[in-house]
Structure 1
Amino acid sequence: MKVTSADVAREANVSRATVSYVLNDTPHQKIPEPTRQRVLDAARRLGYTPSAAARTLRRGRSDVVLLILPTWPIGHVVGEMIEVTTNELARHGLTLVTHQLPTGKRSFSSLWRTVSPAAVVLADTTHTEEHAAIRDAGIPVSFALLDDSPGREGALTSAQVQIGRMQVEHLVAAGHSVIGYASPDDARLDSFALPRLEGVRIACEERVLEPPEVRTIALSSVQATAIAAWRNRRDPVTAVCAYNDEVALAVLAAAREAGVQVPDDLAVIGVDDIPVAKFAQPPLTTIKIGQRAMAEHIAASVVCALEGKQPPPYAGTESKVTVVRSSA
């Protein structure tokens, strides 16, 4: 049988109103400290859990934060961001619920209207009308991670550009001057892949290098034709920036198929430092991204909004480290 507030009141020998005031930390109610502690101890002994539905009705919202994701493949980095954000919000008594929109579906109004969340975190800006409706409903946070609107660059957008720049910086420092870019063949990844490619282009331009030779790499088969295209130029590509480690592993496989030696003939650098990167042949050089700063920023933005404060600006200080191995 479920323990109720009435059971807690009997156990603590107080009224149900006093139990409600204590457990809900109701402001402007002067409850003596011994009484408050007695209620808390009784609730703990009985294993009392407040009703989520009642709490939602009382506050006009739940303790849920909705994270709305597009149809991105949930890879290593996005998965880590979700995990760390979940833990950060839990420290503030908030529960992160992640919802990935089905392919072709743009609206999620029935979800947020049913849940009545404390906040909604939007991953990109493809749902402008939904964004406005959420704000009109008085939900205090609608925060885009990937935002290419003028003057509103999302927290992740600048990070992706910097990743591409770091790849080129490492390759140039190793003596390479003709760079290729291995792009994924999944359009769902464009929000990440295009800014990373832009970072590679910017870094090449800053060093007066020709633009990167871009080739799309499918993960469904060995891509030896891409290797041939890079290597058969008048000025052969000697180093490749891959969109991520999975694409980099496909480039390594294609190089083996084509008899191209890595890194002697072609250096390869990935992104993410997925667990198998160190076991590649040769072990993969990559950019490792820490998600804690991003998660802390999301959590701080939500909490500040709920407290009526201005969300902090994103400092863009998430950890990005070049992990040097044998491939580049």
Structure 2
Amino acid sequence: MTDPVKRTTSQDVAQAAGVSRTTVSFVLNNRPNHAIPEETRQRILDAARRLDYRPHASARSLAAGRSAVVLLSLPDVPIGAGISRFVEELATALARDGLTLVLHLAGAHGRSLPDVCAAVDAWAVIGFESFDADTVQALKRAGARVVLPAHVHESPAMQLIGRLQARHLIDRGHRRIGYAFPAHRNLRPMAEERLQGVAGACREAGLEPPVVLTTDLEIPGAAAAVAQWKARSVTGVCAFNDETAIAVLAGIREHGLTAPGDLAVIGVDDIPTARLAAPPLTTVYFDLQEVGRRRADAILDAMAGRAVAPSTFDPLIVERSST
């Protein structure tokens, strides 16, 4: 049986460098106002590298006055390309400031969010939606100093996306608009917000409300929705996201129809496969790198006790052949 590998401690580094543990702490944590000779500092750093020493998170938290962990609570929804890109950009932005992003999957049915917060010693916790008051208190009791929504899916932004989709179709002469609603029940709140934007644009243009049909990501379901839209004289469809829009395009082809000739389609997110769809998909794009950077800045502001600036949102239409 293999013996377990012993974790290297700061005491090991101190012994190897021939200094006190306190001196090791001063050097490795970059503590100011301590005149450590350069030769001693280099000896400690060399010993730490040679022993592959990594400071324990709780010890580093004590030294820095805060932990370096930001905990992101992901909702119980399919983790599509849009959410994945946001997480990647947020993690990258936080890493530039020495922070580590840890994910908690709400749908995993494991430990609760406050339990995970305490286990990883998270300084900040953010979620895709605002937390209720009881959850905020539980997170703060678990050690979180900052609790924020991610602000990616706030209501005005969601409605703006739907409004942009519908206006794009209306500006191209479509007078009967459909909406492809996602089948996953946990996507319903977000989809309802986007649908409100579509309905608002139709109302402002003097059109009837959009024809809303639930569309899964299978060809038979999408083809059935296409048949109903055609029967009700719909000529343009706003889809909840790009995955749903690509399913609608497959449903159009299943009937031997074409887009946009028989039915125009617009999605949301500009996922990598949107440009590879048949035909290439018109969609709503937003700069998730910039969104991640702004959210990281908001987290840093909150951690420093500064006022958090309101989040901004600048979606754009990427026009391709499907409209």
Is the shorter-chain TM-score for this pair beyond 0.5, marking a shared fold? yes
> What residue is the counterpart of 1:325 in the other structure?
320
TM-score normalised over the length of structure 2: 0.86
1:123 is aligned, of 119, 128, 148, to 128
Question: What amino acid is aligned across from residue 91 of structure 2 in structure 1?
Answer: T
Q: Distance in 2 between matches of 1:91 and 1:103?
A: 29
Compared CA separation, residues 3 and 136, structure 1 to 2 (3 A) = closer
Number of equivalent positions: 317
Q: Distance in 1 between matches of 2:173 and 2:111?
A: 46
Q: Does 1:96 align with 2:95?
A: no
Root-mean-square deviation (CA, aligned residues, Å) is 2.7
Q: Distance in 2 between matches of 1:80 and 1:121?
A: 16
Compared CA separation, residues 106 and 56, structure 1 to 2 (3 A) = closer
Q: Distance in 2 between matches of 1:65 and 1:184?
A: 30
Compared CA separation, residues 137 and 277, structure 1 to 2 (3 A) = closer
> What residue is the counterpart of 2:3 in the other structure?
none
Question: What amino acid is aligned across from residue 230 of structure 1 in structure 2?
Answer: W
Q: Does 1:313 align with 2:310?
A: yes
> What residue is the counterpart of 1:84 in the other structure?
89
Compared CA separation, residues 136 and 2, structure 1 to 2 (3 A) = closer
Q: Distance in 2 between matches of 1:310 and 1:126?
A: 19
User: For residues 14-33 of structure 1, what are the structure 2 equivalents within 5 Å?
Assistant: 14-31=19-36
Would you say the 8 A contact 1:3–1:46 is kept in 2? Answer: yes
Helix, strand or coil for the counterpart of 1:90? helix
User: For residues 233-252 of structure 1, what are the structure 2 equivalents within 5 Å?
Assistant: 233=232, 236-252=233-249
> What residue is the counterpart of 1:230 in the other structure?
229
Question: What amino acid is aligned across from residue 139 of structure 2 in structure 1?
Answer: I
Mind listing any 5+ residue stretches in structure 1 that lack a counterpart?
A: 147-153
Would you say the 8 A contact 1:145–1:157 is kept in 2? Answer: no
Question: What amino acid is aligned across from residue 226 of structure 1 in structure 2?
Answer: A
Q: Does 1:113 align with 2:118?
A: yes
The alpha-carbon deviation at position 260 of structure 1 amounts to: 3.0
Would you say the 8 A contact 2:114–2:142 is kept in 1? Answer: no
> What residue is the counterpart of 2:75 in the other structure?
70
Q: How many percent of aligned residue pairs carry the same amino acid?
A: 46
Question: What amino acid is aligned across from residue 22 of structure 1 in structure 2?
Answer: V
Question: What amino acid is aligned across from residue 232 of structure 1 in structure 2?
Answer: A
Would you say the 8 A contact 1:107–1:127 is kept in 2? Answer: no
Per-residue CA deviation, residues 111-150 of structure 1 (Å, 9 max, x unaligned), is 222222111112223544111222355522111135xxxx
Question: What amino acid is aligned across from residue 78 of structure 2 in structure 1?
Answer: P
Q: Distance in 2 between matches of 1:155 and 1:323?
A: 20
Question: What amino acid is aligned across from residue 218 of structure 1 in structure 2?
Answer: D
The alpha-carbon deviation at position 172 of structure 1 amounts to: 2.1
1:276 is aligned, of 273, 276, 293, to 273
> What residue is the counterpart of 1:150 in the other structure?
none
2:139 is aligned, of 129, 134, 138, to 134
Q: Distance in 2 between matches of 1:302 and 1:145?
A: 9
User: For residues 285-304 of structure 1, what are the structure 2 equivalents within 5 Å?
Assistant: 285-304=282-301
The alpha-carbon deviation at position 306 of structure 1 amounts to: 2.4
The alpha-carbon deviation at position 32 of structure 1 amounts to: 5.3
Per-residue CA deviation, residues 28-67 of structure 1 (Å, 9 max, x unaligned), is 4444566545544553455432223433465675422111
Per-residue CA deviation, residues 151-191 of structure 1 (Å, 9 max, x unaligned), is xxx76433322221221222122222221111111111123
Question: What amino acid is aligned across from residue 244 of structure 2 in structure 1?
Answer: V
